[in-house]
Structure 1
Amino acid sequence: MSEFEPALCTVTFRSLPPEKIVDLARNAGLAAIEWAGDAHVSPGDTLVARIVGLLSARAELTTSYGSYVAPPTDDLMEFGRALESAIALGASNIRIWPGTRRRDSKDYSAGERRDAAEAIRDMGAEAARHRVTVSLEYHPQSLTDTTDSASRLIDAIAHDNVYLYWQPRPGLELGEALAEVARIGQHVSHVHVFAWDRDRNRFPLASAADYWRTVLSALAATRWTGRRFAMLEFVANDAPAAFIEDAETLKQILLE
C-alpha cells in the first residue's frame, strides 16, 4: 500500500462554502483537506479558521493550510498572519510560494535567490516554534519551476522544517516526471494530483491512473516523517460529480 493518503485542495471548489467542501471530502472517503488562503480561510482571520477547523475535525479530516505567502516579496510579518490562521485551523503544515509569483526562476539574480532562501529559512524557523511544517509550492513561474532551481533552492534554505511539494507541469511526460522526483524526492512532503494536458485541458484522473501510480511509487523515500497526502487539485468542469469519480480513482491508485 502507498504511504500517501487521499486529500483535496479547496481551490478545486473556490465558489463552494466550507461546509459543502467538508461534506464532499467526507463522502468521498478522503483523509485530509488543504484549505485555500485566498478562498476559504484568509490570512489572519482566526475566527473563520477555527470554525473551518472544527468542521474538518468533526468530519475526521486532517487539515493543511494553502497560503499564498510568497517570500521574499512577502515578509515574516505577512507569513505570521498566515501562520496564525494555520494554527487556528489546526493545520500541521503550511504551504507557501517560493519567490515572487508569476516570475520565472531564470529571471532571478544570485542575490535575489539568496534573499528568497533566507526569508524562507526564517519562516521555517518561526513555524517550527509552533510545530507547523513549511512546504514550498512546486509550480511554473516560481523558484520551483524547474527541478534544478527547486533543488538549488532547498539546498540553499537548508532548514529541516522546510520541504517541497511536487506536481507535474501540465503535460509533463512520465520519464521527465520520474527524473524530477528522483532528484528532489527526498525533500517532498505532499503532492498535488490532477490530469491535465499541455494546454491545461482537464481530464478524468482515470485517464492518468498509470502515470500517477508510477510516480507515487517512485516517491517513497523522503526525509518527511509525518502523514503524507496526495491532494486532488482541480477536476473537469469544476464539477462535484467529477471530483467524486477522481477521488475513487485516487483511492484505488493508492491501494494498489
Structure 2
Amino acid sequence: MSGFEPGLCTVTFRNIVADRIVVLAKEAGLAAVEWAGDAHVPPGDTSLARTVADLCEGAGLATSYGSYVAPPTDDLSAFRRALETTIALGASNIRIWPGTRGRDSADYAADERRAVADMIRAMGDEAARHGVTVSLEYHPQSLTDDTLSARRLIDAIAHPDVYLYWQPRPGLPLAEALAEIAEIGEHVSHLHVFAWDNARNRFPLASAADYWRQVLDALPATRWTGRRFALIEFVANDDPSAFREDAATLRQILEG
C-alpha cells in the first residue's frame, strides 16, 4: 500500500455541476475531492461551500480546497476569503499558488522572493488558527517551477503547517521526477496525478502506471501527518468515461 488515497481535482470537469461530480467520485471508489475555487466553489461563497460539504459528507468523501490565491498578487485579505470558504467546505487543507501566476521563478529578485515567503508564512499562521494546512501548487511558471526554487521557498517559509504538492511537469522523464521528489519529498502533502507528454497531450493513466508506481515507491518520509491524497487532475478529452478508467488505474497503483 502506498499510504495515499485516490481523489479527484474538480478542475478536471469545469463544466460538470458539483452534485454530478460527487456522484462520479463516489462511483469511481475515490476517497476525496479537491474543489476548484475558479469553477465550482468560488471564494467567498460560503453558502455554496456548505452545500457542497453536505454532498461530500453524504457520499463519504473528504474535501480539500483548490484556491487560486497567488501571493504576492493576492494579499492576506484575499486569502482570508478563501480560508472562510475552506472552513465552510469542511476541508482541512487549502492549496495556493506561490508567486504571481504565469511568472517564472527565475524572474524574481531576492527581495521579491523574501516578500512572497513572508506573506505565505502569514497565511500559514492565519490558517493554523483554524486547524487548516496550506499547500503550495507545484507548477510551471510559479516559484515552485523547479526543484531548487521550491526548496528555497519552503525553507524560507519555514512554517510547520505549510507544505508542497508535487506533480511532474508535462513530459518530465522518470529519472528527473525521482530526483525532484528525493529533494523536496519530505515537504509533500498531496499529489496531482495525470499522464501528459511534453506537448500537453493527455493519455490514459494506464500508460503511465509504471511511472507513478516508481514515484510512489521512491517518495521519502514526509513531515505531513494527515491523510494523503493522490488527486486525478485532467483526463483525456475531459471525458467521464476516461476518468472512470483512470480512477480504476489509480486505485490499482495505490493498492500496490
TM tier, shorter chain? over 0.9
Match of 2:192 in 1: 192
Match of 2:168 in 1: 168
Distance 1:189 1:219 in 2: 11
Distance 2:43 2:211 in 1: 35
**CA-to-aligned-CA distance 1:124-175 (integer Å, 9 cap, x gap):** 0000000000000000000000000000000000000000000000000000
Task: Determine if contact 2:102/2:142 at 8 Å carries over to the other structure.
Answer: yes
Instruction: Tell me, yes or no, if structure 1 residue 59 matches structure 2 residue 59.
Output: yes
**CA-to-aligned-CA distance 1:222-243 (integer Å, 9 cap, x gap):** 0000000000000000000000
Match of 2:101 in 1: 101
TM-aligned CA deviation for residue 218 of structure 1: 1.3
TM-aligned CA deviation for residue 220 of structure 1: 4.3
Instruction: Tell me, yes or no, if structure 1 residue 119 matches structure 2 residue 119.
Output: yes
Task: Determine if contact 2:182/2:220 at 8 Å carries over to the other structure.
Answer: no
Match of 1:249 in 2: 249
Match of 1:230 in 2: 230
Identical columns (%): 75
**CA-to-aligned-CA distance 1:65-87 (integer Å, 9 cap, x gap):** 00000011110000000000000
User: What's the C-alpha RMSD, in Å, of the aligned pairs?
Assistant: 0.4
Distance 1:231 1:220 in 2: 19
Distance 1:217 1:90 in 2: 31
Match of 1:24 in 2: 24
Task: Determine if contact 1:137/1:165 at 8 Å carries over to the other structure.
Answer: yes
Instruction: Tell me, yes or no, if structure 1 residue 68 matches structure 2 residue 68.
Output: yes
Moved over 2 A (4+): none
Aligned length: 256
Task: Determine if contact 2:181/2:220 at 8 Å carries over to the other structure.
Answer: no
Instruction: Tell me, yes or no, if structure 1 residue 216 matches structure 2 residue 216.
Output: yes
Match of 1:89 in 2: 89
Match of 2:7 in 1: 7
Task: Determine if contact 2:37/2:66 at 8 Å carries over to the other structure.
Answer: yes
TM-aligned CA deviation for residue 217 of structure 1: 1.5
TM-score by length of 1: 1.00
TM-aligned CA deviation for residue 219 of structure 1: 1.5
Distance 2:125 2:166 in 1: 22
Match of 1:33 in 2: 33
TM-aligned CA deviation for residue 194 of structure 1: 0.1
**CA-to-aligned-CA distance 1:162-210 (integer Å, 9 cap, x gap):** 0000000000000000000000000000000000000000000000000
TM-aligned CA deviation for residue 100 of structure 1: 0.3
Distance 1:229 1:76 in 2: 27
Q: Mark the runs of 5 or more structure 1 residues left unpaired by the alignment.
A: none
Distance 2:63 2:97 in 1: 18
Match of 2:140 in 1: 140
User: Which SS does the other structure have where 1:77 is aligned?
Assistant: helix
User: What is the letter of the counterpart of residue 138 of structure 2?
Assistant: Y
Distance 1:241 1:77 in 2: 40
TM-aligned CA deviation for residue 216 of structure 1: 1.1
Task: Determine if contact 1:3/1:220 at 8 Å carries over to the other structure.
Answer: no
Task: Determine if contact 2:165/2:189 at 8 Å carries over to the other structure.
Answer: yes
Distance 1:182 1:220 in 2: 6
Distance 2:219 2:28 in 1: 24
User: What is the letter of the counterpart of residue 226 of structure 2?
Assistant: G
User: Which SS does the other structure have where 1:82 is aligned?
Assistant: helix
Stretch moving more, 211-220 or 66-75: 211-220
User: What is the letter of the counterpart of residue 221 of structure 2?
Assistant: A
